[in-house]
């Protein structure tokens, strides 16, 4: 399936600053950017980096002087999903995990899995199959945490969310990651573009490493798992923010558009994914 993506960001620079931008879809065997274009305000320069940590493509933008900053990004993305039967999505013994996966077992800044170990064991130990545990984690979050804005901040952690029981996609994803790591299931935070997200925005969910592959999970139930485009993965939001500001730079507006370009009719509907995992490579 092909998608067309458009993102517009504006900032007000009050002095020379640097902006690290993370809005470009990640290139992989299952997701290919066929065309992309970036426009910046006059006088701005940038460098491209492929991060050695997680999966992300970043632009480091140099802003030499005060003024209004406008950034426009468009891309065409071809994306092929792999649907995996749940029976194959089993635990892998720690000693057999790839070295690159091991960090996703550990607590991180926003995902304090060490503080949630007893809670996770008490609530999800009855599930013997790893995929069932992940599904139960998502179900618990969806049922017990109210999806609502205005209650959390960029400093809100998974422990805060399970205590206060409200949050947005970022908080749902952090809690899902933390609970899965507490169950010794490698999990990582995922940012993406999501079809039919209302209002259009960047979205956060998470991935778990089961059966030798990364499988998408989303406790918000706001979007179809087979209709997202991956932007970045990491330990938590600290590694995957769509923009990181260094200097005196104020964010003023954002517009995100994400629509299908073509549909072959071969992609499974969301209802057909029950009992299966979705892998975007």
Domains located in the chain, CATH noted: 2-80+244-261 (2.60.40.2250), 82-239+273-279 (3.10.620.30)
User: 202-210 and 213-217 as β-strands: parallel, antiparallel, unpaired?
Assistant: antiparallel
Beta strands (DSSP E) in the chain are: 2-13, 17-21, 31-40, 45-50, 57-63, 67-79, 82-85, 146-147, 166-167, 187-194, 202-210, 213-217, 228-234, 243-246, 249-262, 276-279
Q: How does residue 30 score in pLDDT terms, banded at 50, 70 and 90?
A: confident
Tens digit of each residue's pLDDT (9 = 90 or more) over 83-116: 889 999 999 999 999 999 999 999 999 999 999 9
> What pLDDT is stored for residue 179 in this prediction?
98
**Pick from 34, 21, 24, 38: nearest CA to 79:** 34
* Assigned token pair, 176: 């899902």
Range 170-186 average pLDDT:
98
Higher-confidence position of 51 and 181: 181
> What pLDDT is stored for residue 270 in this prediction?
58
CA–CA distance, 153 with 1 (Å, rounded to integer)? 35
Q: How does residue 276 score in pLDDT terms, banded at 50, 70 and 90?
A: low
CA–CA distance, 236 with 227 (Å, rounded to integer)? 22
Range 196-216 average pLDDT:
94
Range 133-138 average pLDDT:
97
For residue 272, is pLDDT > 90? no
Say what the pTM is: 0.91
Range 213-234 average pLDDT:
94
Angle in degrees, CA 214, 219, 223, rounded to 5: 85
* Assigned token pair, 235: 């330990």
């Amino acid at each position: 399936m092909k998608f067309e993506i458009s993102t517009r960001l504006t900032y007000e620079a009050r002095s020379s600053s640097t902006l690290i931008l993370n809005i470009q879809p990640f290139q992989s065997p299952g997701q290919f950017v066929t065309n992309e274009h970036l426009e910046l305000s006059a006088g701005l320069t940038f460098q491209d980096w492929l991060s050695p940590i997680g999966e992300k493509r970043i632009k480091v933008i140099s802003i030499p002087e005060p003024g209004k900053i406008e950034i426009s990004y468009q891309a065409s993305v071809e994306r092929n999903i792999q649907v995996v039967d749940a029976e194959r999505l089993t635990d892998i013994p720690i000693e057999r995990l790839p070295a690159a996966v091991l960090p996703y077992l550990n607590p991180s800044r926003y995902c304090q899995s060490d503080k949630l170990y007893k809670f996770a064991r008490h609530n999800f130990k009855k599930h013997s199959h790893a995929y069932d545990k992940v599904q139960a984690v998502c179900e618990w979050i969806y049922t017990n945490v109210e999806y609502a804005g205005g209650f959390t901040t960029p400093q809100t952690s998974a422990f805060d969310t399970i205590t206060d029981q409200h949050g947005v996609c970022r908080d749902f994803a952090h809690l899902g990651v933390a609970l899965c790591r507490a169950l010794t299931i490698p999990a990582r935070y995922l940012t993406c573009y999501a079809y039919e997200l209302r209002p259009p925005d960047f979205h956060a969910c998470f991935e778990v490493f089961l059966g030798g592959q990364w499988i998408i999970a989303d406790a918000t139930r706001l979007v179809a798992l087979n209709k997202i485009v991956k932007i970045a993965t990491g330990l938590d939001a600290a590694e995957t923010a769509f923009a990181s500001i260094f200097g005196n730079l104020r964010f003023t507006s954002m517009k995100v558009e994400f629509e299908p370009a073509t549909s072959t009719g071969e992609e499974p509907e969301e209802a057909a994914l029950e009992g299966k995992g979705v892998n975007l490579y």
